[in-house]
Structure 1
Amino acid sequence: MKLLFDHNLSPNLVNYWADLYPNSNHLYLMQLDQESDYTVWEIAKIQGYAMITKQIIQEKLESLTPEELNQVYELIQNLSSAERPVKEPSLMSK
């Protein structure tokens, strides 16, 4: 399965999920971010993509149990901290 991420989601998701979903893409990377929803969904269908939108993610989150939701929050927290650049200590702070 290959995923096509909507323009409301980060293009970084393509690389993050590359091991599990190779050949996935993002609308921005395909230069489709200015196209109509109809065009995007048709291209996704023709090229065999499963569309991932913010709305689909929200609907899935709403159906999770509290335990599952906590696991998602932990994952998001780990992703957020991994994306932050590590600041090297300044010579002035010593």
Structure 2
Amino acid sequence: MTHVHIVYAHPSERSFTREVLDAYLGGLDAAGHTRTVSDLNEIQRPVTTLVVRPALDAAHRQHWSIWHRRHQAHARASRYHRQAALQP
């Protein structure tokens, strides 16, 4: 008896790929093998939420932080120029 892990990825439940998967699973069951199936379309959201999005969020925060510091420096310099122009 063998354990088989299948990674499946097709968005449609009525596809030819799904029919091949079902036939293969039926053959494994008939032969007495154990099996697990991972559907990539089902795990896409948790992976995106836990892995991809934090990386994008970190890059976005860093980009925003750099932009914000530049903006503050420009605003501060403009303020000092205005104050200097108003003083006699």
TM-score for both structures, normalised by structure 2: 0.27
- The structure with the largest alpha-carbon Rg is 2
